[in-house]
């Protein structure tokens, strides 16, 4: 009897121990191949269905896993795999569904490493639906936004961030091409303010654009076109001047401002893009405008050389494929450099026109609120007082000139400004003027003739500073000579570039 009870006790003990071991929750890693749990079986079946392009079966299996095992360790991978199934299936509707699945994954699992992968695939979905630069640019804009989100939200994922930067450069090449086409459209129709606004926004936002030198050159041509328009306008000479006339002094000031703007655009080609095709033309235009010709630094030459060598020239086959495919040709996009992650303030054509007029006429640029405005004083008119009768139409017109831009021809009124030269004492206001008004400083002005414009020379700011300080002239000149590139460096870089292109065509 004792023997039987002892045996029963031993069996009960073994049963309890086996039950405890069976109910113990085992720690199963994410990629434990030896596990045979039901959730892993469902996940493996879904992956096998996706490998055989049975995407609907894979999604049903994954959805079963998600609903049946909400605490499974395969839950995150199953959620991401649902988006992958829609993405692999393709088509507009499937890609839209895949994007929604990836966004849900980022919402529910933001701290997982796969969240960066989901964001990259969202951007790739927009990238694959991009159209040419002259077509709808909605997907290109969305792709730019999604790649920027990837780079800024997941900077620690170096591999995916680098891939996103390369794709972002290609997207920005397409968007820059669109801006270039619009700006050139305005340029050909001589709508210069609109063209200038587009070109300036293009250069500020996409400095790595493959036609940045052409954009800057056309920007300078826009300013020169405006110079021609200003010169063609009639000059105000008397009370019966033609409509739209401009005072000679204002015309000269406007031409001077536009000439400086054009020289800035041409100089930027030489200093930022010294190896591109428009560099010789920019030097010619600066010489024609009697403006100094700058010299690029060696760092700028090396940077531009790396950018040009990274571009891939499209062959004959690529051009034929690009003619029939829906997507754009991104072979000219740079593969080096940092893409623009924050959009600069866009340039407005109306603002440019107002600023040009303000600089030409010397008007106030601030209205007290930090906003630039264009203010013109109207001509003085004889307004009746409170108890005076209204003027009659049969009364003679006042003898004073009511055109604010007209140039006076007589000196009857001692308070009127007289054109006595480039810099005279006539600009001093009369004694009855407002003592609080700002007056021009005429202490340094003289009545000498304008000096002869010297011929353009090769200059740079560092050399100018060195010449003004005699003590450090020798040290500064030696450092500037080493920092700036010589003509030999630029020509050798251009030869290597052309040689490489010729080699590609030969192959």
Between 315 and 375, the more confident residue is: 315
Closest CA to 334 of 213, 497, 206: 206
Cα dihedral 12/18/19/22 (nearest 10): 180
Contact (Cβ atoms closer than 8 angstroms) between residue 119 and residue 153: yes
CA 353/CA 13 separation, integer angstroms: 95
Rounded to 5 degrees, what are φ and ψ at 293? -100, 115
Query: Within 71-211, where are the H helices?
Result: 75-89, 92-108, 114-128, 138-153, 158-188, 192-205
CA 174/CA 144 separation, integer angstroms: 10
CA 35/CA 61 separation, integer angstroms: 18
Would you state the pLDDT for residue 401? 43
259-280: b or e for each residue (b if 16 or more CB lie within 10 Å)? bebbbebbbbbbbbbbbbebbe
CA 214/CA 278 separation, integer angstroms: 6
Contact (Cβ atoms closer than 8 angstroms) between residue 131 and residue 171: no
> Can you tell me the mean pLDDT for 379-389?
51
Percent of the chain surpassing pLDDT 70: 65
Contact (Cβ atoms closer than 8 angstroms) between residue 417 and residue 427: yes
> Can you tell me the mean pLDDT for 333-361?
83
pLDDT single digits (tens) 417-432 = 444 443 333 344 444 4
Would you state the pLDDT for residue 235? 85
> Can you tell me the mean pLDDT for 351-361?
71
Contact (Cβ atoms closer than 8 angstroms) between residue 288 and residue 227: no
Average pLDDT, whole number, for the chain? Answer: 76
Would you state the pLDDT for residue 23? 40
- Other beta carbons within 10 angstroms of residue 255's beta carbon come to 16
Contact (Cβ atoms closer than 8 angstroms) between residue 78 and residue 65: yes
Q: Kindly indicate the confidence band of residue 474, based on its pLDDT and cuts at 50, 70 and 90.
A: very low
Q: Kindly indicate the confidence band of residue 321, based on its pLDDT and cuts at 50, 70 and 90.
A: confident
Contacts of 476 (CB under 8 A, 6+ apart): 462, 463, 465, 466, 469
299-303, 387-391, 477-481: the lowest-pLDDT one: 477-481
Q: What is the CA radius of gyration of the chain?
A: 36
- Other beta carbons within 10 angstroms of residue 466's beta carbon come to 19
């Amino acid at each position: 009897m004792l023997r039987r009870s002892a045996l029963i006790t031993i069996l009960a003990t073994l049963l309890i121990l086996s039950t405890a071991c069976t109910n113990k929750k085992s720690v199963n890693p994410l990629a434990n191949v030896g596990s045979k749990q039901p959730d892993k079986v469902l996940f493996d079946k879904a992956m096998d269905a996706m490998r055989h392009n049975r995407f609907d079966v894979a999604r049903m299996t994954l959805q079963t896993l998600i609903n049946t095992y909400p605490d499974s360790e395969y839950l995150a991978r199953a959620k991401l795999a649902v988006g992958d199934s829609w993405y692999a299936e393709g088509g507009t509707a499937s890609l839209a569904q895949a994007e929604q699945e990836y966004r849900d994954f980022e919402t529910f699992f933001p701290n997982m490493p796969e969240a960066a992968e989901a964001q990259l695939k969202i951007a790739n979905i927009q990238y694959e639906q991009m159209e040419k630069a002259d077509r709808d640019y909605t997907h290109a804009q969305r792709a730019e936004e999604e790649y920027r989100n990837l780079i800024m939200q997941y900077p620690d994922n170096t591999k995916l961030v680098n891939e996103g930067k390369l794709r972002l450069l290609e997207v920005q090449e397409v968007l820059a091409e669109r801006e270039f086409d619009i700006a050139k459209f305005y340029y050909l129709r001589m709508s210069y303010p609109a063209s200038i606004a587009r070109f300036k926004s293009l250069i500020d936002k996409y400095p790595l654009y493959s036609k940045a030198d052409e954009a800057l050159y056309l920007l300078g041509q826009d300013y020169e076109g405006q110079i021609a328009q200003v010169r063609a306008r009639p000059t105000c000479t008397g009370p019966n001047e033609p409509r739209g006339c401009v005072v000679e002094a204002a015309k000269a000031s406007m031409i001077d401002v536009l000439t400086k703007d054009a020289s800035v655009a041409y100089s930027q080609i030489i200093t930022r893009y010294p190896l591109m095709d428009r560099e010789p033309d920019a030097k010619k235009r600066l010489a024609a405008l009697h403006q100094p010709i700058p010299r690029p630094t060696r760092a700028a030459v090396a940077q531009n050389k790396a950018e040009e060598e990274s571009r891939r020239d499209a062959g004959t086959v690529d051009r034929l494929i690009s003619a029939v495919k829906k997507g754009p040709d991104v072979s000219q996009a740079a593969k080096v450099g940092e893409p623009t992650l924050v959009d600069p303030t866009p340039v407005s054509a109306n603002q440019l026109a107002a600023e040009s007029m303000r600089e030409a006429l010397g008007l106030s640029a601030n209205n007290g609120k930090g906003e630039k405005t264009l203010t013109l004083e109207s001509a003085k008119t004889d307004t009746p007082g409170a108890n005076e009768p209204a003027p009659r139409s049969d009364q003679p017109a006042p003898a004073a000139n009511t055109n604010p831009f007209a140039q006076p021809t007589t000196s009857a009124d001692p308070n009127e400004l007289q054109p006595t030269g480039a810099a005279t004492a006539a600009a001093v206001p009369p004694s009855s003027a407002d003592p609080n008004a700002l007056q021009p400083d005429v202490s340094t002005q003289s009545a000498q003739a304008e000096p002869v414009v010297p011929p353009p020379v090769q200059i740079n700011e560092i050399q100018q500073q060195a010449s003004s300080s005699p003590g450090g002239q020798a040290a500064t000149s030696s450092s500037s000579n080493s920092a700036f590139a010589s003509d030999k460096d630029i020509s050798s870089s251009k030869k290597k570039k052309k040689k490489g292109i010729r080699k590609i065509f030969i192959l």
